[in-house]
Structure 1
Amino acid sequence: MEPARLSLNQITLNSLALPEAVAACERHEIGSIALWRDKIAGVGLGRAAELVRSAGLHVSSVCRGGMFTDPAVDVREDNRRAVEEAATLEADCLVLVCGPALDHDLPAARERVRDGIADLLPHARAAGVKLAVEPLHPMMISRRSVVNTLRQALDLSDAFDAEVGVIVDAYHVWWDPELDAQIARAGERILGYHVSDWLPETADLLLDRGMMGDGLIDLPRMSRLVAEAGYTGPVEVEILSSHWWAQDPDDVARTVRKRFEEFV
Structure 2
Amino acid sequence: MSATDRRWRAKGFVMIDGGYRFGISEFTTQPWSFEDDVTRYARLGVDTIEVVEAKLDDHRFAEQMESIGPAGLDISGVQPKVRTFFASRMTPDPKGVDERVAALRGSIERLGRFAPGVPFITNTGAHPRGDMAEAMRIVGDRLGELSKVAADNGVLLALEPLNPTSVNVESAIWTIDQALEVIDRAGSDRVGLCLDYWNIWQNPGVTAQIARAGAKIFTVQASDWRTPRSFADRIVPGAGDIPLAELIRATRATGYELPYVVEIFSEDVPDSLYDRDLEAVIIDCKRGFASAWEESLTGRAFDPART
1:200-219 equivalences in 2 (<5 Å): 201-204=227-230, 206-219=231-244
The partner residue of 2:250 within 225, 229, 238 is 225
Partner of 2:53 in structure 1? 37
The partner residue of 1:68 within 47, 60, 85 is 85
Matched position secondary structure for 2:165: helix
**CA-to-aligned-CA distance 1:142-183 (integer Å, 9 cap, x gap):** 221112110011112222345111011100000011312211
Contact between 1:86 and 1:129, CA under 8 Å: does it hold in 2?
no
Indicate whether 1:137 and 2:183 are aligned.
no
1:1-264 equivalences in 2 (<5 Å): 2=15, 5-41=21-57, 44-64=60-80, 66-70=83-87, 72=95, 74-90=99-115, 92-161=118-187, 163=189, 164-199=191-226, 201-204=227-230, 206-242=231-267, 243-264=272-293
Distance 1:228 1:210 in 2: 26
Partner of 2:6 in structure 1? none
What displacement does 1:43 show? 6.4
**CA-to-aligned-CA distance 1:40-65 (integer Å, 9 cap, x gap):** 24663202212202212100000135
Structure 2's unaligned 5+ residue stretches are 1-12, 88-93, 294-307
Structure 1's unaligned 5+ residue stretches are none
Distance 2:140 2:63 in 1: 33
What displacement does 1:248 show? 1.4
Distance 2:243 2:201 in 1: 8
Question: Which moved further from structure 2: 87-96 or 217-226?
Answer: 87-96
Matched position secondary structure for 2:252: helix
Percent identity for Structure 1 against Structure 2: 27
Distance 1:62 1:85, change over 3 A: farther
The structure number with the bigger radius of gyration is 2
TM-score when normalising by structure 1 = 0.92
The AA in structure 2 aligned to 1:52 is I
What displacement does 1:4 show? 5.0
**CA-to-aligned-CA distance 1:157-212 (integer Å, 9 cap, x gap):** 2223451110111000000113122111111111011110111x3211x2101111
Q: Which has the higher contact order (CA 8 A, sep 6+)?
A: 1
Distance 2:166 2:114 in 1: 28
The AA in structure 2 aligned to 1:49 is M
Distance 1:83 1:227, change over 3 A: same
Aligned residues: 262
Distance 1:217 1:162, change over 3 A: farther
Distance 2:257 2:50 in 1: 16
Partner of 2:10 in structure 1? none
Distance 1:161 1:114 in 2: 8
